[in-house]
Amino acid sequence: MGLIMFRSVQRLRFPPFEHASVNPQGIPIVEVIVESEQEAPPAFSIGQDDNWKVEWRSTKADDDFPTLECEISRFPFDFITKSRSGWYIEPDPLHSLARKAIRPAVLIIILSLLIHSLEPSLVASGLLSESFAGSYRIGPLDYPKLLFFSFPLFAVPIILRIVANLRDIRRQNRYISKPLEDIVTSTEIKSNNLELWLKQSPVDVMLQRARIQVGMIVPEREKVLEALEREEGRQSSPGMSTSLPDRRITSGEELGTGVGEAIPLAVAHQRLLLLEPLRVMASGEWIGLAGETGRLNLPGPSDIWPGSIYSALIAIHWELVIEAVRDDGTRMKWVKPILIPERGGLVPIPTMPVRSGRTESADQLG
């Protein structure tokens, strides 16, 4: 007697790493009929067909999509549990400051070169002082005087990034030499809220606030290419870059974005100590933990999301996040996956909440 295979339709247009500079309509939407030994979840839809989109529903008579076999699970896959569970170090705030400083620094350089090219007319009209005009000769070459003022400003973001990476590496090595014990909690799901009991926490950290959040895990590159009927090694699909070699380190690397771009520098360790952001994510409000004891009620997102469900293309992941500060001043996050039961009769969510794929700016909506 053969196995019963359940069939459902998955439609997906997932935001790439640099989604802010991409037109969603220029990226093909993945549409497949999924066959699995596990039954599909109740139907849900997030986003619009002309924008970032995810939909999982039952099949219809006129569905003419490629068939894809994949596993469906109500529990997170091993790589998700390993990469999104435990203590993580917050990236240095200088990373975000450095990224914000790049654009004005480049504009200043361009403006300096433009003024240098127009110097004769600007000096003749009295709009530019002769003390700023001309060049300095160093060896066989002449360098515009304005560059000696603008180039140090251009170097500021680079210096900030170097300092931030060095501080991140120092904090990671300090954590590796003296890791923290996990927080012991007890949770109970009540409608769209989470009842939380804090039973035990490390003595050398101060818990600050907590929330629950839900989002989507990056789809598996191999399955995306199979669904789009493309082959690895040939021209990549729009929104995807060439796959990087060697082992998998982050989900972003599977899309060819590169670890150096996806996160600040991470040290060699059995797991990453810098939490990769969920590019698609919604969250409840932060609830303060300072001085709180007993039962805490953590509200869920304003929109009602599906329960926990995992497949190669669409994976809805829920987690508890607690922010804390260590005795040495290191800002930390403790993350624990939580399982939300299935929810039927969901109202479509009109807009997919997209965020930056960069760790230092992950809290910014895209």
Q: Considering the chain, what is the average pLDDT of its residues?
A: 84
Q: Verify that 248 and 345 share a domain, yes or no.
A: yes
Q: Verify that 158 and 195 share a domain, yes or no.
A: no
Mean pLDDT of 21-38: 89
pLDDT, tens digit (0-9, with 9 covering 90-100), for 215-237? 999 898 888 888 888 877 777 77
Burial class (CB in 10 A: 0-12, 13-18, 19+), 300: buried
Q: How far apart are CA 359 and CA 332, in angstroms?
A: 13
Domain containing 63: what range? 6-69
Q: How far apart are CA 47 and CA 34, in angstroms?
A: 20
Q: What is the 3-state secondary structure (H, E, C) of 141-203?
A: EEEECCHHHHHHHHHHHHHHHHHHHHHHHHHHHHHHHCCCCCCEEEEEEECCEEEEEEEECCC
User: Which among 140, 165, 190 is the end of a domain?
Assistant: 165
Q: How far apart are CA 275 and CA 332, in angstroms?
A: 10
Q: Verify that 18 and 82 share a domain, yes or no.
A: no
Q: Verify that 54 and 114 share a domain, yes or no.
A: no
Q: How far apart are CA 286 and CA 280, in angstroms?
A: 18
- Does residue 122 lie within any of the structural domains? yes
Mean pLDDT of 312-328: 94
Q: Verify that 194 and 314 share a domain, yes or no.
A: yes
- Does residue 113 lie within any of the structural domains? yes
Q: What are phi and psi of 322, to 5 degrees?
A: -120, 125
Q: In 3D, which of 321, 320, 296 has the Cα closest to residue 308?
A: 320
**Paired tokens of 143:** 């360098």
- Does residue 234 lie within any of the structural domains? yes
- Does residue 171 lie within any of the structural domains? no
- The separation between the first and the last C-alpha atoms of the chain, rounded to the nearest angstrom, is 50
Rg (CA), the chain: 25
- Tally the domains of the chain: 3
pTM, rounded to two decimals: 0.84
For residue 249, the model assigns a pLDDT of 41
The single residue listed with the structure tokens 């954590």 is: 175
Q: Is the pLDDT of residue 365 over 60?
A: no
- Does residue 172 lie within any of the structural domains? no
- Does residue 177 lie within any of the structural domains? no
pLDDT, tens digit (0-9, with 9 covering 90-100), for 256-273? 333 345 457 777 777 788
For residue 299, the model assigns a pLDDT of 95
pLDDT, tens digit (0-9, with 9 covering 90-100), for 50-104? 999 999 999 998 888 989 988 999 999 988 888 899 999 998 888 888 888 888 9
User: Which among 107, 133, 165 is the end of a domain?
Assistant: 165
Higher pLDDT, 214 or 134: 214
Q: Verify that 213 and 247 share a domain, yes or no.
A: yes
- Does residue 174 lie within any of the structural domains? no
Q: Verify that 157 and 258 share a domain, yes or no.
A: no
Q: Verify that 156 and 191 share a domain, yes or no.
A: no
Q: Verify that 197 and 254 share a domain, yes or no.
A: yes
- Does residue 205 lie within any of the structural domains? yes
User: 345 by DSSP, 3-state: which?
Assistant: coil
Give the pLDDT band (50/70/90) at residue 133. low
* Bridge partners, 326 (sequence order): 205
Q: Verify that 214 and 319 share a domain, yes or no.
A: yes
Higher pLDDT, 19 or 80: 80
Q: Verify that 297 and 349 share a domain, yes or no.
A: yes
Q: Verify that 337 and 194 share a domain, yes or no.
A: yes
